[in-house]
A = this chain, B = another copy of it.
Amino acid sequence: LSINPGHASLSKDKPCKRLVLHLHDVLLNGTANEAEATSAVVANQTALGAYKFGKFVVFDDPVTADESLASPPVARAQGFYFYDMKTDYNAWFAFTLVFNSTRHTGTISIMGADLMMMDTRDLSVVGGTGDFFMARGVATVSTEAASLYYFRVKMEVKLYECH
């Protein structure tokens, strides 16, 4: 008997676990919103293009089960993003979802390109710990709201390896 795990079939429609979450990012704007802010610019945009190329933001964002920023967070998203395109808005993310509730304990780490011109884009779930021990999968992201110092994205986290 020989099983080749490298060719095992996984169905995209059938994750072993699925979470729908909303991430809220409130960017520090001087002293105007210091109480609410959950992220801050660590390095300014460069001179390349007109779309904030290189602007680098660190965040510790609340993650809620519904769309309201006022809802109790079910997780925190800790990580960073930066803009990385000359000709349009585009970004790259790496972050960890940190769960610490009666429902879930553990982490899910995510990274990938955030192709902002697409309605939905897929990032990779590259690891997990605790309740999400050894998880892998895909996080499908779509922007629900965006203004100068706030954005909200919907994240559908689909795990295809559950242990």
Show the binding face of A for B, using Cβ within 8 Å: 1, 3-10, 12, 16, 28, 30-31, 34, 37-43, 46-48, 53-54, 56, 58-60, 78-80, 82-86, 90, 92, 94-96, 98, 106-107, 109, 111-113, 115, 122-130, 133-134, 136-138, 160-163
CA distance A162 to B10 in the complex (A): 9
5 nearest A-B pairs in the assembled complex, by CB-CB distance? A124-B127, A122-B129, A40-B46, A96-B113, A40-B48
Number of copies of this chain that the complex holds: 3
Could you list 26 A-B pairs, sorted by A, with CB under 8 Å? A3-B3, A3-B8, A5-B5, A6-B16, A7-B163, A10-B133, A31-B47, A34-B47, A39-B48, A40-B48, A42-B43, A42-B46, A43-B56, A53-B58, A53-B60, A58-B83, A60-B84, A78-B92, A79-B92, A98-B113, A107-B112, A107-B122, A111-B126, A112-B129, A122-B130, A129-B138
CA distance A59 to B38 in the complex (A): 26
Q: How far is the CB of A86 from chain B (nearest CB, A)?
A: 7
Contact residue among B28, B46, B129 (Cβ-Cβ distance under 8 Å from A123): B129
Residues of B within 8 Å of A92, CB to CB, are: 58, 78-80, 95-96
